[in-house]
Copies of this chain bind each other. A is one copy, B any other.
Amino acid sequence: MTHPNITNGWFKETETLWPGQAMTLQVTEILHQEKSKFQDVLVFQSANHGNVLVLDGVIQATERDEFAYQEMIAHLPLNAHPNPRKVLVIGGGDGGVLREIVKHDCVEEVTLVEIDEAVVKAAKKFLPAMAVGFQHPKVKLHIGDGFEYLKNNESSYDVIITDSSDPVGPAESLFGETFYGLMRKALLPEGIICTQGECPWLHLSIIKDVLEHSRKVFPVVDYAWASVPTYPCGMMGFVLCCNTPGRNMRVPTRRFPPAFEAGGKLRYYNADVHQAAFVLPQFAKAALAL
């Protein structure tokens, strides 16, 4: 197999959204490649980062560092919520976010809505440590459009997590005001949403727009970030919005027992990391008025 992003044994990320810079990873073997109905799906085995999932030329997850992103996008909203029982994931077809959500015993049901079944199939075959999330008895998988799903499920969820790719291609509409309005309607009282929030080093203006329209829809809006080496600039942000006026999502409402935190089942997140994640570099704090 060959792929346009792979030359001389190295994968080079498509740079459209971050001109002039590109992460490269050494490739051992191309495991899977297809043009799905929605996007270019590539999985390769890398020399030092385990198997790597790439959509439309952009790294989505490597087995080496995916835990940072998955833990943060799941545990930030879930531990900010007093008692999350019903959770919806939009996107997240690799299953890694599911794996994290079911670490919360109080969660009774998780539904994942992924538009592209090809991603789920590729993950189940080549990213078993992430796709393990699909095997949990609390998890339901729905292949379909997140927009449509939200319209048909008002007042249904305590937490909604949008684990999407970037705002070009199939995920573009997931960054718009309409989508945030639909998420708000699908929440139960005290509900919280958490979405992939791009990177302040690269996309301050996109993030500003998202925060601005979120503030029209939700009474509480905040922004956190994590270090994820194989995402552009090594930083990934998260937009968090809450249905409850006055709720401070920066301090966890619930926390994992310290023995659980230190027991190896969490590799990035802990209660201190939760709080520190909301502290932004000065340039981002100023630009985002946070």
Q: Which residues of A contact B (CB under 8 A)?
A: 10, 12, 15, 19-26, 46-49, 65, 68, 201, 225, 227, 229-230, 232-235, 261-262, 266-270, 272-273, 275-276, 279-283, 285-286
Contact = CB atoms under 8 A, between A and B. Distances in A.
Contacts of A285: 270
A232 B229 CA distance: 8
B282 A273 contact: yes
Nearest to A267: B283
Main secondary structure of the interface of A (DSSP, over half): mixed
Contact of A23 (B21, B225, B266): B21
Contacts of A273: 279-282
10 contacts: A20-B46, A20-B49, A229-B233, A229-B234, A234-B234, A262-B282, A269-B282, A270-B282, A270-B285, A276-B276
Give the residue among A15, A19, A24 with the most B Cβ atoms within 10 A. Answer: A24
A71 B286 CA distance: 16
A145 to B, nearest CB: 33
Contact of A279 (B261, B272, B280): B272
A181 to B, nearest CB: 32
A244 to B, nearest CB: 24
B283 A268 contact: yes
B235 A281 contact: no
A150 to B, nearest CB: 32
Nearest to A279: B276
The 4 closest A-B pairs by CB, nearest first: A234-B234, A20-B48, A229-B233, A276-B279
Contacts of A10: 22
A49 B232 CA distance: 14
